[in-house]
Amino acid sequence: MEAASTGTKFQLRARIRGLIDSGATILAVLSTLLVILPLVAIFIYLLLKGASSLNLDFFIRTPKPVGEAGGGMANAIVGSATLLAVASILGVPMGIFGGVYLAEFGRGTKLANAIRFTADVLNGVPSIVMGIAAYSLIVLPQGHFSAFAGGVALGIMMIPTICRTTEEMLLMVPHVVREAALGLGVPNWRSVLSITVKTASPGIITGCMLAFARVAGETAPLLFTALGNNFWSTTLNEPIAALPLQIYVYAISPYDDWHRLAWAGALVLIVLIVLAVSLVRYVTSRGVLKGAS
Amino acid sequence: MGVGIEVANLNAWYGSNHTLQDISLNIPANHATALIGPSGCGKSTFVRCLNRMHETNPIARVTGTVRMGGIDIYEDVKPVEIRRRVGMVFQRPNPFPTMSIYDNVAAGLKLNGYTNRKSLDEIVEKSLKNSALWDEVKDDLKKKSGASLSGGQQQRLCIARALAVDPEVLLMDEPASALDPVSTSKIEDLIFQLKTQYTIVIVTHNMQQAARVAEMTGFFLNGRMVEFDSTQKIFTNPSDKRTEDYITGRFG
Amino acid sequence: MPEIHIAHPQFQPEPSVTAEQRQAASAAQEPSEVRRFLLSRGNSALADRSFQILMTLCALSIFGIVALIAIELIGNSRLAWHSFGLQFFFKAYIDPYTGLPTYWDPVNGHFSALPFVYGTLLSSLMALMLAVPLALGVAVFLTEMCPNFLRGPLAFLTELLAAIPSIIYGLWAIFVLVPLLREHVNPWLIKIFGWSGLFSDDNPTGLGFVSASVILAIMILPIISSLTREVMIAVPHSQREAVLALGATRWEMIRMGVLRNARIGIVGAIILGLGRALGETMAVTMVIGNSPEIHRSLLANGSSMAAVIANEFAEATNDLHRSALIEIGLALFIVTIIVNALARLLVWAVTRGAPARVN
C-alpha cells in the first residue's frame, strides 16, 4: 500500500520533471527565435528601404538643400574615410605595439595584466565620453570643430581593441617559431617584427578591420568634434561630414526624401561592417597561421 | 670550421628546479658528441645553455662558464652574437610558416642584415645540398612555403637554415624524435657527413643513434653528468654502474 | 678570432672518418665571407632595448588615455562643480510662476542632472529586465541544446548584432520599432496597466522610456548572451556529468551543473550589459523624446545622461552649460569604469584558466 503510493508519487514527480525539462527547452528555443527576429527585421528593412534609395547619385553627389530632391552622400563617404585614416594613423600603430608588449615582453607580469584589464575597461567607456575628451583636448584650445579632432576621438577608441586582438593573435604563434628566430642570432626586435608579427599578420589585419568597422559606425564622438558638413572639406582643420553623422541628421529630419537617404547610408555602412565581421570570422576559424605548427 | 667547447661547473635552474648540477666537460672540435639519458635528465637544458637559449625563459638561470673557441660565451659576448656562431636544430621541425623554402634557408642571414643577393643564392644552394634537400626542392624554392614540406623535409630544411650561417658549432636537440624511420636515417647520414666540418652536439634518447653517429658520448642522469667518454667505451665498457644499467636497459 | 683546440684527456676518436678527410676539410675552411659578415654585426643591444621601450610605452598609453580623459573631464567640469556641488545630481528648482519643478533650464542657468540620472537608470534597468531572461535563454540554447550545425551560424548572428552600429539601431527604431509599439503595444499596455499610472496615454508620439528600453534591450542582448555563453562553456564537463549521473533531466543538469557554477560569471555578463546600456547614446537619443522631465509614466518623454550630451553639447555656448554637460560626462565615465571593472573581474573569476578564446 505504502510502497505503491510512493511509486505513483515518484512517477508523478518524474512526469513533472520531464514537463519542466521540455518547458525549459521550449523557452530557450523561443528566446533564441525572439532574439533573431529583430536582427532579421533590421536587415530586411535595410535591404528593402536602403536598396530602393541607393543609386549612383548617392555615391557621387553632395547633399541638396532642404526641399530639393536628389543629392547624395559622396562627401560623407569621403569624410568617413578621412576620419578613419586619421584614426588609424593614431590607433593602429599604438594598438599593435601595445599588443606586442602584452604578448612578447609583458607576458605574465603584473604590469601587463593591469594594462590588459584597463584596455578591457576602456573598451566599455561610452564613446560619447571619448568625444568630450577629444573636444576638451583639441576643439576647445583651437576654438573650432575639426576633422582632426574627430579622427583623434575615433583613434583613441581603436587603441584598446586593436591592442587586445593583436595580443590574442600573437599568442597563437607557436613558441617554436620564436625560438627558431632567436636560435639564428636574430636580434629580438627583428625577430618580433619579421617573424612573430609577420606570422600573425592575417589575424592582426583582420583585428584592425574589426576596429575600423566598429568606429566607422560611431556617431556620438563625432557630434561635437567633426560636427558634420554639407559640403566638401579640404583640410583637416575644418568640420567634416561622416556617414553616420549624416544618417543621424537625416533620420531625425521631417523629410521623406532625407529618410530615404538615411536608409541608403545605413545600408552602405552595414554592408561594410558585415564584410569586416565575416572576414574576421573566416580568418580566425581557419586559424591565423595556415600550416604553422 | 668547428671549435671545441669547454664547459666548467655549469649549473642551471628552471624556477626553483635545479635542472643542471655542476656539469664540466670538454667537447672536441669537428666531431659529433652525443648526450644520452632518460627524459628530464637535463640533456636538453644542457645544449640550450650552449647557445644561451635557456635564459630566454624569464624564470631560467645559469651559472658557470662555457668557453667556445677561447671565448667565454656568458662573459665576453651578448646572446645574439653567440647564437650567430652556434646553429641549433630543434626537436620539432620549426620552419618559418610564412616564408618560402628559399627565405627559410636565407633567414639567418637576411634577418641579420645580409643583402648580397648573388651570394645568398649560392649559400642557399650549398646549404640545401649539405642538408641533402636540394634535389627535392630545387624546382620550387621560392614558390613553396617551408610549412608545405613533409616533416622529414622540414627538419632537413631547418638543418639547412642552421648551416647557412656557417656556424662553428651545431646543436641538435633530438632532431629525429618527431620523424619516421626513413627520415631519421637520412638525418643520421647527414650528421655523419657534417661532423667533419662542424662541432656537433646531439641530444638523443635513442642509444643506437648515439652509437651510430657520435665519437663521444655523455650520459646524463637527474641533472648530473654521470660519465663522458668515447662512444665505444660508453657502450662496451662503461665505468659507472648507472651508465651500464641504462645502456643495458635496466631502467629509463 | 683565435682558434683553440681543447685536448680532452679521455678523448680518442674512433677513426670512423679518416684522418685525411678531416685534414682536407680543415684545410678548406678559412673563415668564410658569411662568417666574417656575421662577426662584424653588433649585438644590437641598443636596438633591442629601444624597441622594448617603444612597445612598452605604447602599451602604457592605455593608462595615459584613461588619465587624460579623467584630467580633461575634471578640469572642464570644475565650473559646474563649484557652482552646484554634489547637489547637481539631486536638486530640483521650483519655477516661481508655475510652482512646478524644473531641472534643466540653460536659458536661466538652472542645471540639475537629476532627470538624466533618472532616465539613464530607468531605461537601463528596464532594458536589463527585458534582455536578461532572453539572453540566458539564448546562451543556454547555444551551449547546451543547439544542434551542432546551427551553433556556428547562430553564434555568428549574435556577433553581428553586437557589431551593428548604434545609429542603425536608432534609425530602425524611429521608423519601425516606435510606430509598432505606438500602434500595437502601447494601447494594450495602457488598457491593462493604465490604472497604475505607469502607462498613461498622454504621449501620442510613441517616443519615451518604453521605446528606449526595448531598443536598448535588443542592443545589449548579444553582449550578455555571448559572455554568458563563454562562462557556461568554461564550466568543466565533469560538473555536468556529475549531475547527469544522478539521473537529472537536461534542464536540471543545466540549472544545477552549469548555471549554478557559472552564476558569478553570468552576473558579470549582466553587469557588463548594464555598462553598455548606461553609456548607449545614439539609439536612445533618437527615441527617448529628449525632455528633461521626470514623469511617473513610462510612456512619457524623458532623457538620459548620454542623450542630453549628444543633443546639447555642440550648441552649448555658455561656459556653465558646457561645464554642466561635461560633469554629466564625467559621472558617466566614472560609473561605466566602475561597472565595467566589476563585470570584468567577475567574468575573469570564472573563465580564468579556461583556454583563451579569440574574438
Q: Do B162 and A184 touch (CB under 8 A)?
A: yes
| Gyration radius (Cα) of chain B, Å | 18
pLDDT given at position A284:
67
Q: Residue range C301-329: average pLDDT? A: 92
Residue type, B148: S
Proportion of chain B above pLDDT 70, given as a percent: 99
**Which of A111, A178, A184, A186 should be substituted to probe chain B, the one whose Cβ sees the most B Cβ atoms within 10 Å?**
A184
Residue C104 within any structural domain of the chain: no
Distance between C21 CA and the closest CA of chain A, angstroms: 29
Distance between B197 CA and the closest CA of chain C, angstroms: 6
Q: Do B81 and C43 touch (CB under 8 A)?
A: yes
Interface of B with C in 124-153 (CB under 8 A): none
- 3 state SS for B13-80: EECCEEEEEEEEEEECCCCEEEEECCCCCCHHHHHHHHCCCHHHCCCEEEEEEEEECCEECCCCCCHH
Considering only CB atoms, which chain B residues are within 8 Å of C35? 85, 166, 168
- CA-based nearest residue to A208, from A267, A270, A263, A157: A157
Q: Do C45 and B29 touch (CB under 8 A)?
A: no
Residue type, C337: I
> What span, in angstroms and rounded, lies between the C-alpha atoms of A215 and A90?
13
Give the number of beta-carbon pairs within 8 Å between A and B. Answer: 81
pLDDT in tens, B87-123: 999 998 999 988 999 999 999 999 988 888 899 999 9
Q: Do B4 and C6 touch (CB under 8 A)?
A: yes
Residue B221 has which C-alpha cell? 642522469
Q: pTM of the full predicted structure?
A: 0.86
Query: Is residue A121 located within the same domain as residue A188?
Result: yes
Flag the least confident range among A59-68, C25-34, C171-180: C25-34
Domain count, chain A: 2
Query: Is residue A21 located within the same domain as residue A163?
Result: no
Cα dihedral C224→C226→C232→C233 (10° resolution): -170
Proportion of chain A above pLDDT 90, given as a percent: 49
Which residue ranges make up each domain of chain B?
A: 5-247
* Structural domain boundaries, residue A31: 2-53
Q: Residue range C154-159: average pLDDT? A: 78
Q: Do A135 and C276 touch (CB under 8 A)?
A: no
Nearest CA in chain A to C247: A14
More confident residue, C12 or A98: A98
Q: Do C168 and A30 touch (CB under 8 A)?
A: no
- CA-based nearest residue to A217, from C222, C171, C307: C171
Interface of A with C in 205-244 (CB under 8 A): 210, 213-214, 216-220, 223-224, 227, 244
Domain count, chain C: 1
- Inform me whether the pLDDT recorded for C22 exceeds 70: no
Flag the least confident range among A113-122, A145-154, B152-161, C200-209: C200-209
Pick from C14, C37, C38: CB nearest B231: C14
Considering only CB atoms, which chain C residues are within 8 Å of B78? 43, 45
- 3 state SS for chain C: CCCCCCCCCCCCCCCCCCHHHHHHHHHHCCCCHHHHHHHHCCCCHHHHHHHHHHHHHHHHHHHHHHHHHHHHHHHHHHHHHHHHHHHHHCCCEECCCCCCEECEECCCCEECCHHHHHHHHHHHHHHHHHHHHHHHHHHHHHHHHCCHHHHHHHHHHHHHHHHCCHHHHHHHHHHHHHHHHHHHHHHHHHHHHHHHCCCCCCCCCCCCHHHHHHHHHHHHHHHHHHHHHHHHHHCCHHHHHHHHHCCCCHHHHHHHHHHHHHHHHHHHHHHHHHHHHHHCCHHHHHHCECCCCCCCCCCCCECCHHHHHHHHHHHCCCHHHHHHHHHHHHHHHHHHHHHHHHHHHHHHHHHCCCCCCCC
Considering only CB atoms, which chain B residues are within 8 Å of A199? 96-98
pLDDT in tens, B24-66: 999 999 999 999 998 888 999 999 999 999 988 888 999 999 9
Interface of A with C in 108-167 (CB under 8 A): 112, 114-115, 117-133, 135-137, 140, 145, 156, 159-160, 163, 165
Distance between B46 CA and the closest CA of chain A, angstroms: 15
Question: Which of the four pLDDT bands, split at 50, 70 and 90, describes residue C4?
Answer: very low
Query: Is residue A115 located within the same domain as residue A233?
Result: yes
pLDDT given at position C67:
96
Enumerate neighbours of C (3 or more CB pairs within 8 A): A, B
Nearest CA in chain A to C273: A124
Q: Does the CB of B225 have a partner CB in chain C at under 8 Å?
A: no
pLDDT in tens, C229-270: 888 888 888 888 888 888 888 888 888 888 888 888 899 999
Considering only CB atoms, which chain A residues are within 8 Å of C72? 132-133, 136-137
Considering only CB atoms, which chain A residues are within 8 Å of B54? none
Pick from C14, C35, C45: CB nearest B232: C14
* Average per-residue pLDDT for chain A: 88
DSSP conformational letter for B240: S
Residue C330 within any structural domain of the chain: yes
Neighbours of A74 (CB within 10 A): 17
- Inform me whether the pLDDT recorded for C209 exceeds 90: yes
Q: Do C21 and B196 touch (CB under 8 A)?
A: yes
- Inform me whether the pLDDT recorded for C17 exceeds 70: no
Q: Do C249 and A18 touch (CB under 8 A)?
A: yes
* Average per-residue pLDDT for chain C: 85
> What span, in angstroms and rounded, lies between the C-alpha atoms of B12 and B21?
7
Residue C226 has which C-alpha cell? 555571448
Residue C16 within any structural domain of the chain: no
Considering only CB atoms, which chain B residues are within 8 Å of C17? 192, 195-196
> What span, in angstroms and rounded, lies between the C-alpha atoms of C285 and C264?
32
**Strand order in B71-72's β-sheet?**
B17-27, B5-14, B60-68, B71-72
Q: Does the CB of B195 have a partner CB in chain C at under 8 Å?
A: yes
Distance between A178 CA and the closest CA of chain C, angstroms: 15
Enumerate neighbours of A (3 or more CB pairs within 8 A): B, C
Nearest CA in chain C to B164: C34
- Inform me whether the pLDDT recorded for B156 exceeds 60: yes
Question: Which of the four pLDDT bands, split at 50, 70 and 90, describes residue A137?
Answer: very high
> What span, in angstroms and rounded, lies between the C-alpha atoms of C111 and C325?
9
pLDDT given at position C332:
95
DSSP conformational letter for A62: P
Residue located via cell numbers 617559431? A177
Characterize B8-21 residue by residue with b for buried, 16 or more Cβ atoms within 10 angstroms of its Cβ, and e for exposed.
eebbbbeeeeebbe
**Which of C171, C232, C309, C340 should be substituted to probe chain A, the one whose Cβ sees the most A Cβ atoms within 10 Å?**
C171
Residue A28 has which C-alpha cell? 530557450
> What span, in angstroms and rounded, lies between the C-alpha atoms of B175 and B196?
19
Query: Is residue A127 located within the same domain as residue A90?
Result: yes
Q: Does the CB of A282 have a partner CB in chain C at under 8 Å?
A: no
Enumerate neighbours of B (3 or more CB pairs within 8 A): A, C
User: CB-based contacts of A26: which residues, under 8 Å, 6+ apart?
Assistant: none
- Inform me whether the pLDDT recorded for A4 exceeds 70: no
Residue located via cell numbers 642551471? B12
Interface of A with B (CB under 8 A): 108, 174, 176-177, 179-188, 190-191, 194-195, 198-199, 201, 289-293
**Which of B81, B109, B119 should be substituted to probe chain C, the one whose Cβ sees the most C Cβ atoms within 10 Å?**
B81
Residue C264 within any structural domain of the chain: yes
Considering only CB atoms, which chain C residues are within 8 Å of B197? 25, 29
Pick from A174, A179, A293: CB nearest B53: A179
Distance of CA A189 to the CA centre of its chain: 30
DSSP conformational letter for B224: E
Proportion of chain B above pLDDT 90, given as a percent: 53
Query: Is residue A125 located within the same domain as residue A21?
Result: no
pLDDT in tens, A90-125: 999 999 999 999 999 988 889 999 999 999 999 999
Neighbours of A168 (CB within 10 A): 22
Flag the least confident range among B158-167, B186-195, C193-202: C193-202
Flag the least confident range among A272-276, C169-173, C275-279, C311-315: A272-276
- Residue B129, H or E segment: helix B117-130
Q: Do C73 and A133 touch (CB under 8 A)?
A: yes
Query: Is residue A30 located within the same domain as residue A151?
Result: no
DSSP conformational letter for A150: H
The CATH fold assigned to B5-247 is Rossmann fold (3.40.50)
Q: Do B81 and A185 touch (CB under 8 A)?
A: yes
Q: Do C314 and A128 touch (CB under 8 A)?
A: no
pLDDT given at position C151:
82
Query: Is residue A42 located within the same domain as residue A95?
Result: no
Query: Is residue A36 located within the same domain as residue A141?
Result: no
pLDDT given at position A113:
92
Residue C14 has which C-alpha cell? 674512433
Residue B192 has which C-alpha cell? 655523419
Q: Residue range A257-275: average pLDDT? A: 90
Helix (H, G, I), strand (E, B) or coil at B178: coil
Burial label, C175 (beta-carbon count in 10 A; 0-12, 13-18, 19+): middle
> What span, in angstroms and rounded, lies between the C-alpha atoms of C279 and C126?
15
Q: Do B83 and A182 touch (CB under 8 A)?
A: yes
**Which of A20, A33, A118 should be substituted to probe chain C, the one whose Cβ sees the most C Cβ atoms within 10 Å?**
A118
Cα dihedral B195→B197→B203→B209 (10° resolution): -10
Nearest CA in chain A to C146: A29
More confident residue, A130 or A207: A130
pLDDT given at position A247:
94
Q: Strands B199-203 and B224-230, how do they pair?
A: unpaired
Q: Do B97 and A191 touch (CB under 8 A)?
A: no
**Any idea what the CATH number is for the domain that residue C193 is in?**
1.10.3720.10
